[in-house]
Amino acid sequence: MLMKRLLLPAVLVAAGLLLASCGSPPPLVSDRYLNDSSLITGDPCDAPCFQNITVGKTTFADALTLIRNNALFKDLQSQDNPPQAAWNAANGEQCCQMTANAETGIVDALLVRVAPVMTVGEVIAKYGEPPYVSVLPQDYSETETALGLIYPEQGNVLWVMPGNAQSTLDASDPVVIVLYLNPADFDKLLETAQLNGWLGYVSVSAYRAATPILTPRVTPAPN
C-alpha cells in the first residue's frame, strides 16, 4: 500500500515502488501492467482524474464502486481503516493502489503502474516540460533506473524509465508509473522536497550531478 502520510519524498519512493525491502522487485517495464494511455488521450477524463476517479474530489466509497464496475480491472482488495485499496489489471498483474483521507473519506492518492504505451515525448507534447525532476540516489535494478517528472498543476508524478544508470533520457522512453495527487496539496508537498529542474534529454548521471533547484523548507515528520 501507499504510505499514508503524503510527504513528497516518502511518496516519491513509495509510489515509484523503487526500493523493494526484500527479494527481487518486479520489473519497471512490463506489458502485464495496465494498458492505459488516458493521461495523454484524456479519455475518459484528464488528470488529476483517472478512470472517472478525481483525486481530491471523489469519495473512497464511490471510487471502489467505479473500480468494481470497470472492465479494465479485477481482484479489488480494500480496507476502511485507514482507507486503502489495491487491484489488478484485468489481463495482467497488480497495477493500482489508492488511499483516502481517513477524516473526509476523499481519495488523496492514486498510483498506477502502466504498460509501456506512453512516452516522455508524448507527455511533454501535451503538458510541456516538467517544472521539476526527481532523481533517485540509487538504481531500481542493474538494468533499470527511473526519473520522476513532476507536474504540480496536474497533480502528477510520472516515473519514466530511460534504461540503466549509464543511459540518456530520450523522447521515446516509456512512462512506467503514474502517481495522481491533489494539485491543491502540491505546495505543501513541495516544501519537503529536494528536486532538480528539467535539463532536457541528457544522461541520468547529468541529472544526478545537477544542483537541485528546490530544497526542503520543512523537515518531513517521521512516518
Q: Are 73 and 88 in contact (CB under 8 A)?
A: yes
For the entire predicted model, the pTM comes to 0.89
∠ CA 205-161-179, nearest 5°, is: 115
C-alpha grid cell, residue 11: 511518496
Average pLDDT value for residue range 113-130: 97
Average pLDDT value for residue range 55-84: 96
Look at 20-24, 57-61, 157-161 and tell me which has the smallest mean pLDDT. 20-24
The CA distance from 100 to 14, in Å, is 16
Report how many domains make up the chain: 1
* % of the chain beyond a pLDDT of 90: 70
Q: Is residue 3 part of a domain?
A: no
Q: Is residue 222 part of a domain?
A: no
Q: Is residue 215 part of a domain?
A: no
Total length of the chain: 223
Domain containing 48 equals 8-209
Q: Is residue 119 part of a domain?
A: yes
Q: Is residue 214 part of a domain?
A: no
Q: Which residue has the higher pLDDT, 15 or 173?
A: 173
Q: Which residue has the higher pLDDT, 180 or 190?
A: 180
Q: Is residue 32 part of a domain?
A: yes
Considering the chain, what is the average pLDDT of its residues?
87
Q: What is the pLDDT of residue 221?
A: 54
Q: Is residue 30 part of a domain?
A: yes
Q: Is residue 181 part of a domain?
A: yes
Q: Are 160 and 146 in contact (CB under 8 A)?
A: yes
pLDDT band at 193 (very low <50, low <70, confident <90, very high): confident
C-alpha grid cell, residue 167: 543511459
The CA distance from 137 to 126, in Å, is 28
